[in-house]
A and B are shown apart, each in its own frame.
Chain A
Amino acid sequence: MIEFIGSVFILTGTIFLFSAGLGVLRMPDAYTRIQAGTKASTLGNTLVLIGLAFYHPGWTFKLVLVIYFVLMSNPISSHALSRAAYRIRIPMTSSTVVDAITEEEPEQEP
């Protein structure tokens, strides 16, 4: 029963990871790709690791540490990447409606 719950977690996680890959392939520009990849892969990784914790209860502490690392590093690195992309003026897709950086920090306009 416990292993079944773990399998459900892992399956849900892989679905999210798959959608992350799909998003990276199908999204129109760099920013939306980073966004899709980050959010879905962070959640997918976390769910897979939680599922593993059901399979191997002895690993729980280490898995919590790994989840913490993923939750910290993945969004921060994507943040830095997309920020850098904005700074060197990678074009946005034509359907973009709002540009929060220019609205909030007009003096930082490159």
Chain B
Amino acid sequence: MMRRVFILLVVFLFGLVFLNVAVGYEELQSLRPLARHYVAQGPVELGVPNIVTAILITYRGFDTLGEVAVLFMVAASVGLLLKKNEGDRNTAEKPISERKAGEIVITGAAVLMPFIFTFGAYVIVNGHLSAGGGFQGGAIVASGVMLLLLARPESELNISMLSIIESLAGAFYILIGVSGIILAGGFLDGRFLPLGEFGAFISAGAVPLISALIGIKVGAELSVILSSFKS
């Protein structure tokens, strides 16, 4: 009885909080000055139809670099924490996951995997035109890798190869950023490449390139995290 009363009280208080938020909500009638600058100048300065990507990759590109670095640290520490000791590997029993997946799952994974990877690549390379971009596309690619690990637990990812790819992508990201300082207005300024036709697939300077690099990096990092959870 006391418990119920307590739960009801908590629900009521939550309702009060959300009611306040809902009643106090006022729709902004106009953009804030910073947002207005982004919306008005983003497509003109950078030739990027997708303003979110323009902000993420160019105006706030340094932030994105930090986020990717955080992801890298997560991958490294997860790998370190989940690393198996050599001694355990021989004595440990075969876990349940060693059992082979069923035929339906294996076939379904084989049918869906190209689909998922293609979609991930599509999202990555169209980051400057439509919703999506490097982070999202990389996560989609990693979900395909997860499907592979689930359907074929015996398959081994080439971790060292993935690490090399990931480091190269990071290095090129910095390189593009620095060439932005040298050739254009500042760090990660993508205007040293021709802007091209607005809305075309190859346009917007270095933005699609940076997006693709982020996609490769995120996909490789998440795949490493997933595969270290497997073992």
Interface residues of A (CB under 8 A from B): 69, 72-73, 76, 79-80, 83, 87-88
- Measured CA separation A69–B112 after assembly (Å): 8
- B104 on the A face (CB < 8 A): yes
- B196 on the A face (CB < 8 A): no
Most chain B beta-carbon contacts within 10 A, residue among A69, A72, A76, A79: A76
Some 21 contacts from A to B, beta carbons below 8 A apart, are A69-B112, A69-B115, A72-B108, A72-B111, A72-B115, A73-B108, A73-B112, A76-B104, A76-B108, A76-B109, A76-B112, A79-B102, A79-B105, A80-B101, A80-B104, A80-B105, A80-B150, A83-B102, A87-B96, A87-B99, A88-B96
- Measured CA separation A80–B97 after assembly (Å): 12
Residues of B within 8 A of A76 (CB): 104-105, 108-109, 112
Task: Identify 10 new A-B residue pairs, CB closer than 8 A, beyond the known A79-B104, A83-B102.
Answer: A72-B115, A73-B108, A73-B112, A76-B109, A76-B112, A80-B101, A80-B102, A80-B105, A80-B150, A87-B96
- Measured CA separation A80–B61 after assembly (Å): 41
- Measured CA separation A83–B150 after assembly (Å): 13
Residues of B within 8 A of A80 (CB): 101-102, 104-105, 150
Number of contact residues on B: which range applies? Answer: 10 to 19
- Measured CA separation A83–B104 after assembly (Å): 11
The DSSP consensus for interface residues of chain B is helix
CB distance from B58 to the nearest CB of A (A): 28
- Measured CA separation A83–B108 after assembly (Å): 15
Q: List the 8 closest pairs (A to B, CB-CB), nearest first.
A: A76-B108, A80-B105, A79-B104, A72-B112, A83-B102, A72-B111, A76-B104, A73-B112
CB distance from A69 to the nearest CB of B (A): 7
Tell me which residues from 128 to 165 in chain B have a Cβ below 8 Å from any Cβ of chain A.
150
Residues of B within 8 A of A72 (CB): 108, 111-112, 115
Contact string, B66-98, partner A, CB cutoff 8 A, digits 1/0? 000000000000000000000000000000100
CB distance from B156 to the nearest CB of A (A): 21
CB distance from B221 to the nearest CB of A (A): 24
- Measured CA separation A58–B186 after assembly (Å): 41
Residues of A within 8 A of B150 (CB): 80
CB distance from A35 to the nearest CB of B (A): 15
User: Which chain B residue has the least Cβ–Cβ distance from A68?
Assistant: B115
User: Which chain A residue has the least Cβ–Cβ distance from B112?
Assistant: A72
User: Which chain B residue has the least Cβ–Cβ distance from A72?
Assistant: B112
Most chain B beta-carbon contacts within 10 A, residue among A69, A79, A80: A80
- Measured CA separation A69–B144 after assembly (Å): 13
- Measured CA separation A87–B101 after assembly (Å): 12
CB distance from A83 to the nearest CB of B (A): 6
User: Which chain B residue has the least Cβ–Cβ distance from A80?
Assistant: B105
Residues of A within 8 A of B102 (CB): 79-80, 83
CB distance from A107 to the nearest CB of B (A): 14
